[in-house]
Structure 1
Amino acid sequence: MNEVYADDRVETRHPEQNIAKADAIAAWCNAIRSRPRLGKNPDEYLAIGIDGKGRLMELVAIRNGDGDFLIYHAFIPPQPNAKKELGIIEGSGRK
């Protein structure tokens, strides 16, 4: 229960980013913000976390009935729409 796994596509979808499954799992375990995507699929979660190499990463995972998570999307850096969905605001807002 509450195990975290990464799908093979984490490593193959964006090969130029050099994201290994272990990197995505580390970022998930070190998430600074996460939430279920209630408007889309309540079993789908969006997170932003820091991997073992210090990289800020956007992640999407599905939670199964046992409470385990399967990460199927990982991207560096987190995109503005993911930050907005998680309520993360960059900068001070001053002009």
Structure 2
Amino acid sequence: MPKRILQGPIVSDKGEKTVVVRVDRAFKHPLLAKVVRRSKRYHAHDESNELKVGQRVLIRECPPKSKLKRWEVVTEEQVAADAASAQQGEAAE
């Protein structure tokens, strides 16, 4: 099963090897029929500990690294490599 990939700005980098990423979503309210915006904060693992507040990053699901961290920061190259390997796996079957 593919891992979810989300995108958003970093809102906190105070933790050691941890960043907090805000992911926004917009959806149409079922009764009011207007667009509603909601956001959620995810704690993500940053191995290099170099990311700063305000940067936009991609995060991917991963096995739990701590009590709150179930996501890890990934680069666009890693995402492309994962997609390519998944396509090769499907072609082999």
TM-score (norm 1): 0.31
Structure with a larger share of its residues in helix? 1
Report which of the two has the higher share of strand. 2
